[in-house]
Amino acid sequence: MNLERVSNEEKLNLCRKYYLGGFALLPFLWLVNVFWFFREAFLAPAYSEQGQIKSYVQRSAVGLLFWLVVLTAWITVFQTHRAQWGEVGDYLSFTIPLGLP
């Protein structure tokens, strides 16, 4: 999408939609929001909607960072303790590795 062809109000509306969509357990939308609107929020010449876009981009970055920390912690714990959890670890696994833990 070429943001240069979109009006400032539409940019704000789209940025808000991606920000709110991230709360539906879709942190990828926050990643997209940060990448698409970073330039508009921090590097573009000032315009009236820029403050709100900047706020949404910053909040999206914080939410994305939070999800990255949570997912990294869960993956680390799961990978290191799955075998010790026995049957529960097997039920949580999509594929069960063969061999000794």
**Span 77-88, pLDDT tens digits:** 999 998 899 889
99 found inside a domain: no
Per-residue pLDDT, 101? 61
Spatial CA neighbour of 62 closest among 25, 21, 31, 20: 31
Structural domains counted in the chain: 1
Domain that holds residue 40: 3-92
10 found inside a domain: yes
pLDDT top residue among 8 and 96: 8
Q: Is the pLDDT of residue 99 over 80?
A: no
40 found inside a domain: yes
pLDDT digits (tens, 9 = 90+) for 6-22: 999 999 999 999 999 99
pLDDT digits (tens, 9 = 90+) for 22-38: 999 899 999 999 999 99
Side-chain-side CA neighbours of 50 within 13 Å: the count stands at 11
53 found inside a domain: yes
84 found inside a domain: yes
46 found inside a domain: yes
97 found inside a domain: no
